[in-house]
Structure 1
Amino acid sequence: MNLSDAALLLAAGLAAGTVNAVAGGGSLITFPALIAIGLPPVPANVSNSVSVCPGYLASVAGSRADLPPARRIAPLVPTTIVGAIAGCLLLLATPARAFELVVPFLVLGATAVLAFQEPLRRLVGHPAHLSPRRRTVTVQAMVGLGAVYGGYFGAALGVMLVAGLALVLDTTLARVSAIKNLLSAIVGLTTVAMFSLFGPVNWAAVAVVAPATLVGGYVGARLVRRLPPVVLKTLIVAFGTVIGLYLLWRALR
């Protein structure tokens, strides 16, 4: 790795950490950067998953004031870990092509759910009107599917989690974003453990990108607390749309 490669990865890490904290999808900045310095797709994907984890942890620190009590989040932790492990195993054991074709539609679908949150709530029922059991099952299912996706690819994981959680939780978008940061960090730690043991990680690239995402993640999380809900929602929907269309273009080219 030469100096220009390191500079590219440093800038990508800072931007990705900030974007992940605000909207999710920062991996679409670091992943192409890793490809650009010459890494093959699978090592780039694995190294990227390990690199962005510190940014998730910094986002949790920056948004900790908006997190609900631990007893309300604890039941989601096992689901997140199991889902992330399943996604990692899927990446390491199966061809990526089929999933690459599905991913853009998952991202665009999640973005649409967030964009049309209120009409969908009227259709499926407002969270306040759902039975506790139905709400619990729905939240667990959405978190589990998001964790599988995060373990496999991870880009736009934040968009998908925010969209699903905002639909079924009767709380502020800032709190949903804080929960998203925590779940993303758990997915990130799980992927670090899995890929460190079984994946082709490029540790030199990780050493450059990871500290940068740490700084960017903390800055982004502090920024979220200052944004009005409508601005935050608009940013997430806009970024999710761009990510989905980019992934669709890349899969079909």
Structure 2
Amino acid sequence: MFDLPWWHAVLIALAGMWAGTINTVVGSGTLVTFPVLVALGYPPVTATTSNAIGLAPGTISGSIGYRHEIRGQARRLVQFGSMSLVGAVCGTILLLSLPSDAFETIVPVLIGLALVLVVVQPRVSTWIAARKGERPSRPGPLLMFLIFLIGVYGGYFTAAQGVMLMAVMGMLLAEPIQRLNGMKNVLSAVVNVVAGAIYAFVAPISWPAVLLLAVGSVLGGMLGAKVGRKLPPAVLRGVIVVVGLAAMIQLVAEHWF
């Protein structure tokens, strides 16, 4: 089963751990693991499906780490989670229905969008804080619809869904940032678990990569929940942007040249 070089295994596991940490604290861990898998020779669709399954345990461990922040939010999480679940199913159907050429064309655009969201996140957070008194305390139809759309995006390509969730919930809910982050982790876990469960039965998967990513992401999720909030967000964003740009360049070069 493990017919890959030892240094590939180490690199994938470390990428999974870093992604698990980033997903819990910021989001966008896929922008680390996806380009690593592609650089090691995995086809883009296989890299995406293996990545979704491998990072799912890390999103679960990150959610458990935020259990105190989301205490008393069960009703909201059921409402939001149902939208994320339906969206994730739709996103996986898109990934499996569209031709691989379409995926290879769309993914660089999605990575670019994700990178923009990572870069502007501090400004979004500042704007959200300034409008704190103007936001409703109850979820409305707009927020539910946006969570569904993010679920579709996450089911298709998981990168930066956490950043998107933080942005829309922060703009449309009057809640502390740490509570929003805890809810974000739960919703990301729903999308990853649903998408991963579907991919496991009907999509091309590299199970060695999945296992290595899963082990790394669980450790990273626990690390992110405990100490990740103390790390400088600018450092995490900088790494994500650099790795994401490298992935965009590589995918565009492979597709067009």
What TM-score results when the alignment is normalised by the length of structure 1? Answer: 0.84
Following the alignment from structure 1 to structure 2, what is the Cα–Cα distance between the partners of residues 83 and 90? 11
Change (3 A) 1:249 1:71: same
> Is 1:22–1:236's contact at 8 Å kept on the other side of the alignment?
no
Following the alignment from structure 1 to structure 2, what is the Cα–Cα distance between the partners of residues 154 and 247? 15
Pairing 1:129–2:134 present: yes
Pairing 1:36–2:43 present: no
> Is 2:137–2:174's contact at 8 Å kept on the other side of the alignment?
no
Change (3 A) 1:27 1:68: same
Following the alignment from structure 1 to structure 2, what is the Cα–Cα distance between the partners of residues 2 and 113? 38
Q: Which residue of 1 aligns with 2:195?
A: 191
> Is 1:18–1:220's contact at 8 Å kept on the other side of the alignment?
yes
Change (3 A) 1:66 1:74: same
Following the alignment from structure 1 to structure 2, what is the Cα–Cα distance between the partners of residues 171 and 35? 38
1:66 alignment partner AA = E
**Structure 1 runs (4+) greater than 6 angstroms displaced:** none
Pairing 1:114–2:115 present: no
> Is 2:52–2:158's contact at 8 Å kept on the other side of the alignment?
yes
> Is 1:91–1:152's contact at 8 Å kept on the other side of the alignment?
yes
Q: Which residue of 2 aligns with 1:165?
A: 169
> Is 2:35–2:247's contact at 8 Å kept on the other side of the alignment?
no
Following the alignment from structure 1 to structure 2, what is the Cα–Cα distance between the partners of residues 141 and 237? 27
> Is 2:18–2:220's contact at 8 Å kept on the other side of the alignment?
yes
Q: Which residue of 1 aligns with 2:110?
A: 103
What TM-score results when the alignment is normalised by the length of structure 2? Answer: 0.83
The one of 161, 165, 184 equivalent to 1:180 is 184
Q: Which residue of 2 aligns with 1:62?
A: 65
1:99 alignment partner AA = I
Measured against aligned partners, the alpha-carbon deviations of 1:47-97 in whole angstroms (never above 9, x if no partner) come to: 111100011011011111111521122111110001011111111111214
Unaligned 5+ segments in structure 2 are none
1:56 alignment partner AA = T
Residue 140 of structure 2 aligns to a residue whose secondary structure is helix
Following the alignment from structure 2 to structure 1, what is the Cα–Cα distance between the partners of residues 104 and 20? 27
Unaligned 5+ segments in structure 1 are none
Pairing 1:153–2:188 present: no
Identity of aligned residues (%): 33
